[in-house]
Amino acid sequence: MSSRDTFLPRRTAQRPDLPPPPRLPPSLAGNPSLPYAAIGTELADLRLQIPGVQGSVLGGVDGLRITHDVPDGLDPDDLAAMAAATFGLGRQVSLRLGQGEFCQSTVRNQGGYFAVYAVGPQALLSVVGQDTINVARLHMYAPPVAARLANLLAQP
């Protein structure tokens, strides 16, 4: 068994109780590179604009990866699944406290950060950062990125 096999299990089918993850809008189906190129640019810019960002993943709330900008050594599928788990906990906290919809969650570890941002109702942006990252700058820069990603996913 390789070290990769010890990570989170992979799902191969959509759970029937969850909404489907975002898909390419039909009007853009003829040119699938258009929205994905813009999404890729947003993810790359996030890494380039904020020192300490190691990478980011755009995934569905079901934990399945849509696309990513992470280096080797980080598994984008695991990050998407962890983002969905973080979202589930954050959503429960939001509901219990009556504070509205989930917006973001940040986990600080000994060696860095893992932040999750809502991208509309069906997607999540997760960001992995080193311990040296300026978290305030990340929290200022990432929400507008998440909003632009939501607009790209929602194009008719």
Closest CA to 38 of 16, 67, 13, 77: 67
How much of the chain, in percent, has pLDDT values that exceed 90? 65
Task: Calculate the dihedral angle through the C-alpha atoms of 43, 72, 83, 4, rounding to the nearest 10 degrees.
Answer: 160
Which residue range(s) make up the domain with 138? 29-153
Between CA 113 and CA 77 the distance in angstroms is 17
CATH classification of the domain holding 82 = 3.30.450.30
Q: What is the mean pLDDT of residues 107-121?
A: 95
Closest CA to 12 of 82, 88, 63, 84: 63
109 located within any domain: yes
Q: What is the mean pLDDT of residues 39-63?
A: 93
Condensed to tens digits (0 to 9), the pLDDT of residues 62-92 reads: 999 999 999 888 999 999 999 999 999 999 9
1 located within any domain: no
Burial status of residue 110 (CB atoms within 10 A of its CB: 0-12, 13-18, 19 or more): exposed
Give the distance from CA 6 to its chain's centroid.
Answer: 22
90 located within any domain: yes
Q: What is the mean pLDDT of residues 24-33?
A: 42
Report the pLDDT value the prediction gives residue 124, as an integer from 0 to 100: 96
110 located within any domain: yes
Decide if pLDDT at 103 tops 90: yes
How much of the chain, in percent, has pLDDT values that exceed 70? 77
Give the distance from CA 137 to its chain's centroid.
Answer: 18
Decide if pLDDT at 120 tops 60: yes
21 located within any domain: no
Q: What is the mean pLDDT of residues 15-21?
A: 49
Query: What is the total count of domains within the chain?
Result: 1
50 in Cβ contact with 130 (< 8 Å): no
3 located within any domain: no
Give the distance from CA 24 to its chain's centroid.
Answer: 17
Between CA 68 and CA 77 the distance in angstroms is 9
Q: What is the mean pLDDT of residues 131-149?
A: 95
134 located within any domain: yes
68 located within any domain: yes
